[in-house]
Amino acid sequence: MTKEAAVAYGTVVGLEIHVQLLTVSKMFCGCAVSFGASPNTRICPVCLGLPGSLPVLNRRAVELGLRTALALECRVHPRSQFHRKNYFYPDIPKGYQISQYEYADHAPLATDGHLDISVDGQRRRIRIRRVHLEEDTGRLVHSPDQHGGSLIDYNRSGVPLMEIVTHPDLRAPAEAREFLTALRRLLQFAEVSTGRMEEGTLRCDANVSLQRPGGPFGTRTEVKNMNSIRSVERALAFEVERQRAVLARGDSVAQETRHWDERREVTFGSRSKEEAQDYRYFPEPDLVPLVVDDNWLERVGAELPELPAARRDRFITAYGLSVYDADLLTTAPSVAAFFERVVALFPQPKTVANWITGDVTAYLNDIGAGLDQLAVSPGRLASLLRLIEDGTISGRIAKEVLVEMIREDRDPAAIVEARGLTQIRDEAALSEIVEKIVADHPGPAADVRAGKKAAMGFLMGQIMKATGGRANPETATRLLRRRLGA
């Protein structure tokens, strides 16, 4: 690779994201949206596309779409229509997918919004081109044996999807990662979707091209089949490098669709004949236009849950948290909600925050879980903190109790009781122990008297060992000092 090629190109990325909406029933019929159901058990004439069937739009899906449009600060169009996207594939039973097309004076649900992200401390505004509604396809599974053909399950056919398309404003794979993280958080807080790529409730395709600074965007490739946010970042990094290498050789980048191979960590081009698809879009005659007036939009706005940025700001002002802590505590709605519920029971927000971002997170990291997977009740954590506050246990012991509390799902007071972990504060009892330790360790005792502070740590350690960690540190320290005249 020449030095020139290595320096010249900037990265241009746009994302096309499909979000599965949190509804009870499908987009155009009443079949239940459920996960893991036995194949073809959530089907009806409509989502099977049987002859004579007709679609009827799910109100909640529209509202979740509107909610998202508001959260992304889009312009909601007062009138929008659905269109048919016509193509043949076994997972679309009607031979067309009902979607919303953007064409001439046909506006989709919403356009022209943005989502702000933070990359390396820099705030970047990523523009949203459009938000629209459509139905999901069925699921095609390839039969394991060579002549088995392909198998189709229509449970997913007709599940409500929302498509979000960004402008090609992302300038690095890391930005795409940050954008998806921020979008997922937004969708979760808005209670629009669970937003999990691993579960398929959030899917992402990317358009990637390189650009000479000040020049036009180069030929773009579409990258598909990325199954996690990390995959997206890695796939984009690979694709950018691949395009750089192509250009450095003096070749041109082919406009094509490339698939990400997670195992081999490469993108590969489709072997199939690349023909531009002619989807023959036209307005869906079986559905009537959607009219969204100001009243409806206001109601949606009023019902919008507190969004991440607002929640984070509120944590900073109302609870006096640091930006860092507020950020951590708003990574997911479950974490933010947990924090606030604990604070409601134990109103010392900074302490609560410290414990959650500190020991709780550390424990979860150890078992490979995220904060949003915390499975302990707020009441339990609040109880634990109260036990520390009223001196029943020391902070040190509390760390042990915390782990057991989460792992065994037990009440902290019960753990303390059962394992006899109550703090020893009684001066008489502690004096006896101090006496014994000093007598057992004359050397270190002499060191302390001689002014060597490190020996204090050793002796305190012995006191803790002798008391099973239960000695109240302040009292023990005071008694030890007095005994040694230090």
Partner 1 sequence: MTPSGALALRAAYLERSLRPSDVVDAAIDQIARHDPNLHAFLYVGADQARAEAAVWDERYARAGSRETLPSLAGVPVAIKDNMCTRGVPTTCGSRILEGWRPPYDATVVTRLREAGAIIIGKTNLDEFAMGSSTEHSAFGPTRNPWDSSRVPGGSSGGSAAAVAAGFVPLALGSDTGGSVRLPAGFCGIVGLKPTYGRVSRYGLVAFASSLDQIGPFAGDVTDCALMLRAIAGKDPQDSTSADVPVPDYIAAIGEGAGGLRLGVPDEVVGPGVEPVVAEAVRHALDVFAAHGGQVERISLPTIEAALPAYYLIAPAEASSNLARYDGVQYGLRAPSEDLHEMYAETRRQGFGAEVKRRIMLGTYALSAGYYDAYYVKAQRVRTLVARDFEAAFRKVDVVVMPVAPTLPFAIGEKAEDPLQMYLSDIFTIPVNLAGLPGLAVPCGFARGLPIGMQLVGRPFDESTLFRAAYAYEQATPWHRRRPPVAAA
Partner 2 sequence: MSQVDDRAPVEHIAHLARLALSEQERERFAEQLGRILEYCARLNELPLADVPPASHVIPITNVLRDDVATPSLDRDEVLAQAPAHQDGFFRVPRVLEGG
Q: Which residues bind partner 1 (CB under 8 A)?
A: 45, 48-57, 84, 86, 88, 90, 93-96, 150, 152, 278, 280-282, 285-288
Q: Could you say which of partner 1, partner 2, none residue 391 binds, taking C-beta under 5 to 8 angstroms by partner kind? A: none
Nearer to partner 1, 273 or 453 (CB): 273
Q: Could you say which of partner 1, partner 2, none residue 310 binds, taking C-beta under 5 to 8 angstroms by partner kind? A: none
Contact between 304 and 68 (Cβ < 8 Å): no
Binding interface with partner 2 (CB under 8 A): 23-25, 29-32, 38-45, 48, 56-62, 79, 81, 88-90, 140-143, 148-154, 270-273, 278, 280, 282-283, 285, 287-291
Q: Could you say which of partner 1, partner 2, none residue 23 binds, taking C-beta under 5 to 8 angstroms by partner kind? A: partner 2
Measured between alpha carbons, how far is residue 430 from residues 143, 411, 441, 452 in Å?
Answer: 72, 28, 16, 23
Nearer to partner 1, 143 or 365 (CB): 143
Tell me how far, at minimum, the Cβ of 136 lies from partner 2, in Å.
16
Q: Could you say which of partner 1, partner 2, none residue 84 binds, taking C-beta under 5 to 8 angstroms by partner kind? A: partner 1
Tell me how far, at minimum, the Cβ of 36 lies from partner 1, in Å.
23
Nearer to partner 2, 46 or 117 (CB): 46
Nearer to partner 1, 122 or 272 (CB): 272
Nearer to partner 2, 90 or 461 (CB): 90
Tell me how far, at minimum, the Cβ of 185 lies from partner 2, in Å.
24
Nearer to partner 2, 284 or 340 (CB): 284
d(CA 467, CA 425): 11
- Quick one: residue 114, left, alpha or beta (phi over 0 = left, psi -120 to 50 = alpha)? beta
Smallest Cα–Cα separation from 288: which of 57, 28, 15, 21? Answer: 57
Q: What is the biggest distance separating any 2 CA atoms in the chain, rounded to whole angstroms?
A: 97
d(CA 226, CA 206): 9
d(CA 436, CA 430): 10
Task: Give me the long-range contacts of 284-289 (CB less than 8 A, separation at least 24).
Answer: 284/55, 284/81, 284/82, 284/83, 284/84, 284/98, 286/54, 286/55, 287/55, 287/57, 287/81, 287/82, 287/98, 289/79, 289/80, 289/81
Q: Which residues pair with 79 in a beta bridge?
A: 291
Tell me how far, at minimum, the Cβ of 294 lies from partner 2, in Å.
14
Smallest Cα–Cα separation from 69: which of 389, 142, 61, 197? Answer: 61
Contact between 259 and 267 (Cβ < 8 Å): yes
Chain CA centroid to CA 319, Å: 24
Tell me how far, at minimum, the Cβ of 36 lies from partner 2, in Å.
13
Q: Could you say which of partner 2, partner 1, none residue 271 binds, taking C-beta under 5 to 8 angstroms by partner kind? A: partner 2
Tell me how far, at minimum, the Cβ of 105 lies from partner 2, in Å.
9
Q: Could you say which of partner 2, partner 1, none residue 142 binds, taking C-beta under 5 to 8 angstroms by partner kind? A: partner 2
Nearer to partner 2, 278 or 366 (CB): 278
Q: Could you say which of partner 2, partner 1, none residue 473 binds, taking C-beta under 5 to 8 angstroms by partner kind? A: none
Nearer to partner 1, 93 or 444 (CB): 93
Nearer to partner 2, 69 or 484 (CB): 69
Beta strands in 183-265 (DSSP E): 202-211, 221-226, 257-261
Q: Could you say which of partner 2, partner 1, none residue 270 binds, taking C-beta under 5 to 8 angstroms by partner kind? A: partner 2
Nearer to partner 1, 88 or 368 (CB): 88
Helical (H) or strand (E) element with 436: helix 427-440
Tell me how far, at minimum, the Cβ of 101 lies from partner 1, in Å.
11
C-alpha angle with apex 426: 425 to 430, nearest 5 degrees? 85
d(CA 119, CA 61): 32
Tell me how far, at minimum, the Cβ of 57 lies from partner 1, in Å.
7
Q: Could you say which of partner 2, partner 1, none residue 31 binds, taking C-beta under 5 to 8 angstroms by partner kind? A: partner 2
Question: Kind of pairing, strands 150-153 and 96-99?
Answer: unpaired
Tell me how far, at minimum, the Cβ of 107 lies from partner 1, in Å.
16
Q: Could you say which of partner 2, partner 1, none residue 264 binds, taking C-beta under 5 to 8 angstroms by partner kind? A: none
Could you give phi then psi for residue 171, rounded to 5 degrees?
Answer: -115, 5
Q: Could you say which of partner 1, partner 2, none residue 286 binds, taking C-beta under 5 to 8 angstroms by partner kind? A: partner 1
Tell me how far, at minimum, the Cβ of 33 lies from partner 2, in Å.
8
d(CA 206, CA 15): 5
Tell me how far, at minimum, the Cβ of 37 lies from partner 2, in Å.
9
d(CA 286, CA 364): 51
Nearer to partner 2, 158 or 308 (CB): 158
Tell me how far, at minimum, the Cβ of 24 lies from partner 2, in Å.
5
Nearer to partner 2, 122 or 146 (CB): 146
Residue 356 has what DSSP assignment?
Answer: I
Measured between alpha carbons, how far is residue 276 from residues 204, 279, 473 in Å?
Answer: 21, 9, 74
Residue that is written with structure tokens 């540190």 in the block: 473
Q: Could you say which of partner 2, partner 1, none residue 96 binds, taking C-beta under 5 to 8 angstroms by partner kind? A: partner 1
